[in-house]
Structure 1
């Protein structure tokens, strides 16, 4: 009798991975259902409750039909599951959202769920006041689960396949020296996935709850605190009040969120499961050090521009204004570098102090660079940027001393010998994808500047760029249906990255 629950759990874990993910999100629908019931929003509660119940019913029938099959699990199949999750799961997630709102199209609901699941956070609805509180909770929860999904997939799926940024590392597959992550005869992808989930899920949940509690202590309401905490950890930028400018937590809340944003700079801030070669110390990690250099360097340049620029600025030279502008730049730069997209309440002061009329270009550049490999951040990733930086230094050295031998490898054992070449290939693929998406959006009547912002926001999974980067915020709800689908494709491509899509088309991967 004691072994029966374990056998049932093992039977559930043998089900197809996509079915298990579907079940997790079906159960998650009851969280906004309970919240809506608590705030006397019975229509919204019914929408999420019955959608979750129907989903679990379908999952049960499918599970019974495949219960006697012995599944074959492999890395290509799990990579295909990642793609199917981001493309097809939002079809189900959009059902309760559309039913709860009753005044939006199914395509808009699907777009919003793709945006949330990929942690992009692009807001297609007109302002936060249009959505019920429970819907705000649902959007933040979907993004939070999407962030957890990428935390787990990075170590269990992308790293063994040398994808997602691991293609530039010296040895991509993690845990080869750890017997707990491999079988004695051959690797078991499903076992590795389970072990990684058990190790990372409590950390992800604990950090989120700790941040939410700190925000509540700073003065935020429970809903705002938990939504902002989930958005920070998932780097989705989803807010029930339209951003952190109107939050009650104030400066103290921004400082706390700033500290938790640092988790998106490097995976070493919360786990060392993907470290196979090189340093496992955070102070020696090239990603974290590169991120800190950008976070400190860009605000300092904006701060000094107050005195060195020829433009006239409308700001006083008092100390309080100077500190407020510096903090506004520091937080906002960090937020967009990690592809979160929250703007500090003092960001406007930073713009006035520096006299910068086009801050959108800086934000676009930061989002393209992105955060750390195997985190919830999007973009090109800091490790690839660092590899290209080292290659640039080496090429300049060879211009002066053509016969010199590089000694950079001794201090950068985390990068493989051709890491810069692979990083350059990815950067070219990213630029090509950006160009094609811009052309496709322009074909449906979107101006070039807006098409560029939309393409960067989708590929870097930084939805708040749509409102922050341009002179005039882009209204997503007014776009044509094909343009919305193109942007959905861009968000999925930005989340999985181009190399993963190309890998799925490779016959060698499936033969192996």
Structure 2
């Protein structure tokens, strides 16, 4: 353990990525995909060898403690540079695409965005589908660990809403409570969260197989659900024909678990609404029960309220049609709305097979603007979900409610305890700053993408999908399909930068640019 603490974070992440390449190598060898298996085996072996040699060369040096900001800088470097290494076996195994496209796929997977340049799932071999899902799964676990070990001590990633300290600066009380070395804190958080993350993934995998999915499809969907990446080897959750899992060509499209599989995935998507659903280490600075957690309560309110409004809209519009819909079909339409709303609120992007049932019922299409709004709101703080985060929305809600109370009673004093008062004042102020930075980032990405030839609608959808880390929005929210592979290299690089910015959040980038960070 002590030797691992002495190694740079980027080197550890590189070694983990190299070791993870053996999984698609073994699976490709099992399916007879020898070219793909060799690409992953050689890249993994070379990566591990280089990591070990570098670790040996650094073993005699005394490591300088750079603090949590140093780990944040290493994390930024990992999101930008590590996909270069991850893309090597992907490019060699596919051998029909450019390295830029492979790099885009790996950035999208590592940031749990899930956007893909290959919408035709049958084009990629099974080993590459497994690699994309595995990289996304590892990226989800990385943000779990980083949230508790790096972002929380620096009051970033949503923790600034409930903290007295400024974003990017440690709270002295928290520092005294957990004064461990930042590298040791990372390893300790990883050791605590790894059994939970792996255990939940295994349980979901087994449940999806029980409901009818093939083992490979169930594993990819289980990893994508826990990481909220929305990566699927069969093109989504729509039902498809069964096939033998012996060769890549027999993977087919669609799933076999049906509505039972969607219900299972729905339960595990709830983990993206609040960190209290799986851990109580540092969610909001206070220990509280899940039913009193504001993030979880707002998330459930949106999951139930938005589908009911959509259902009512389709129900009213259906009176103009001659054909009615039975009670069972109406329930299917309602379920499709509930599942899809939670999926996009958690920035996963899975679409229910019953999502189109309500449209067939009333003849009205469901605008993609609703899904984009849900993705922008996002999930809970310190979860794998992206977006603005529910805690910031709650802080602005409390502040707005208090301002309306002051309109009626200008000299009143707000109550609800010191914790709520802090969220209403400092928390709302910082949350509003984040909203403004997010809006500026969104506008900038839209303008740059428009400069590379995208029209306004396409640029808006692409920018929201990248900054909220909800890649499936690209194929769902726009009326005209967006073909990512036809975009220029510059536009793809802009999207990669936007995905990294959406994953790390703007406040973290601003904190890295502060002069006090580089003073020492």
Q: Deviations over 1:185-218 (max 9, x none)?
A: x431112111111100110000000000000111
Q: Structure 1 unaligned runs (5+)? A: 1-8
Give the match for residue 3 of structure 1: none
Give the match for residue 26 of structure 1: 18
Give the counterpart of 1:496 among 504, 514, 517: 504
Give the counterpart of 1:79 among 59, 63, 72: 72
- Is 1:330 the counterpart of 2:323 in the alignment? no
Give the counterpart of 2:27 among 31, 35, 60: 35
Q: Deviations over 1:123-174 (max 9, x none)?
A: 1114100000010000000000000000000000001001000110146879
- Is 1:89 the counterpart of 2:82 in the alignment? yes
For residues 309 and 388 of structure 1, do their structure 2 counterparts lie closer, same or farther at Cα, with a shift above 3 Å needed?
Answer: farther
Displacement after TM superposition at 1:354 (Å): 5.6
Give the counterpart of 1:236 among 229, 236, 257: 229
What is the rounded CA distance, in whole Å, between the counterparts of 1:210 and 1:171 in structure 2? 39
For residues 277 and 26 of structure 1, do their structure 2 counterparts lie closer, same or farther at Cα, with a shift above 3 Å needed?
Answer: closer
What is the rounded CA distance, in whole Å, between the counterparts of 1:439 and 1:26 in structure 2? 37
Task: Give secondary structure in 1 for the equivalent of 2:356.
Answer: helix
What is the rounded CA distance, in whole Å, between the counterparts of 1:12 and 1:279 in structure 2? 31
- Is 1:58 the counterpart of 2:29 in the alignment? no
Give the counterpart of 2:427 among 419, 422, 425: 419
For residues 345 and 65 of structure 1, do their structure 2 counterparts lie closer, same or farther at Cα, with a shift above 3 Å needed?
Answer: same
Q: Deviations over 1:77-119 (max 9, x none)?
A: 1000110010000000000000000100000000000000000
Q: Structure 2 unaligned runs (5+)? A: 239-253
Contact preservation (8 Å) 1:76, 1:510: no
For residues 473 and 151 of structure 1, do their structure 2 counterparts lie closer, same or farther at Cα, with a shift above 3 Å needed?
Answer: same
Give the match for residue 48 of structure 1: 40
Q: Which shifted more, 22-31 or 276-285?
A: 276-285
What is the rounded CA distance, in whole Å, between the counterparts of 2:479 and 2:427 in structure 1? 38
Displacement after TM superposition at 1:287 (Å): 0.2
What is the rounded CA distance, in whole Å, between the counterparts of 2:366 and 2:280 in structure 1? 39
Give the match for residue 186 of structure 2: 193
How do residues 49-448 of structure 1 correspond to structure 2 at under 5 angstroms?
49-73=41-65, 74-170=67-163, 182=178, 186-245=179-238, 246-275=254-283, 277-309=285-317, 312=320, 316-353=324-361, 355-409=363-417, 412=420, 415=423, 417-448=425-456
Contact preservation (8 Å) 1:304, 1:354: no
Q: Deviations over 1:417-473 (max 9, x none)?
A: 310110000001000000000000000110100000000000000000000101122
What is the rounded CA distance, in whole Å, between the counterparts of 2:475 and 2:264 in structure 1? 24
What is the rounded CA distance, in whole Å, between the counterparts of 1:105 and 1:151 in structure 2? 32
- Is 1:508 the counterpart of 2:509 in the alignment? no
Contact preservation (8 Å) 2:446, 2:463: yes
Give the match for residue 6 of structure 1: none
Displacement after TM superposition at 1:355 (Å): 4.8
Give the match for residue 5 of structure 1: none
Task: Give secondary structure in 2 for the equivalent of 1:462.
Answer: coil
For residues 361 and 315 of structure 1, do their structure 2 counterparts lie closer, same or farther at Cα, with a shift above 3 Å needed?
Answer: farther
For residues 57 and 387 of structure 1, do their structure 2 counterparts lie closer, same or farther at Cα, with a shift above 3 Å needed?
Answer: same
Displacement after TM superposition at 1:56 (Å): 1.1
Q: How many residues align?
A: 500
TM-score (norm. length: structure 2): 0.92
For residues 58 and 247 of structure 1, do their structure 2 counterparts lie closer, same or farther at Cα, with a shift above 3 Å needed?
Answer: same
Give the match for residue 488 of structure 2: 480
Contact preservation (8 Å) 1:312, 1:355: no
For residues 177 and 511 of structure 1, do their structure 2 counterparts lie closer, same or farther at Cα, with a shift above 3 Å needed?
Answer: closer
What is the rounded CA distance, in whole Å, between the counterparts of 2:172 and 2:410 in structure 1? 39
What is the rounded CA distance, in whole Å, between the counterparts of 1:416 and 1:161 in structure 2? 21
Contact preservation (8 Å) 1:302, 1:354: no
For residues 256 and 26 of structure 1, do their structure 2 counterparts lie closer, same or farther at Cα, with a shift above 3 Å needed?
Answer: same
Contact preservation (8 Å) 2:130, 2:220: yes
Task: Give secondary structure in 1 for the equivalent of 2:423.
Answer: coil
Q: What CA RMSD, in Å, does the superposition of the two structures yield over aligned residues?
A: 2.0
Contact preservation (8 Å) 2:158, 2:391: yes
What is the rounded CA distance, in whole Å, between the counterparts of 2:385 and 2:450 in structure 1? 27
Q: Which shifted more, 405-414 or 10-19?
A: 405-414
For residues 177 and 164 of structure 1, do their structure 2 counterparts lie closer, same or farther at Cα, with a shift above 3 Å needed?
Answer: closer
Contact preservation (8 Å) 2:415, 2:421: no
Q: Deviations over 1:273-296 (max 9, x none)?
A: 014643420000000000000000
For residues 350 and 410 of structure 1, do their structure 2 counterparts lie closer, same or farther at Cα, with a shift above 3 Å needed?
Answer: farther
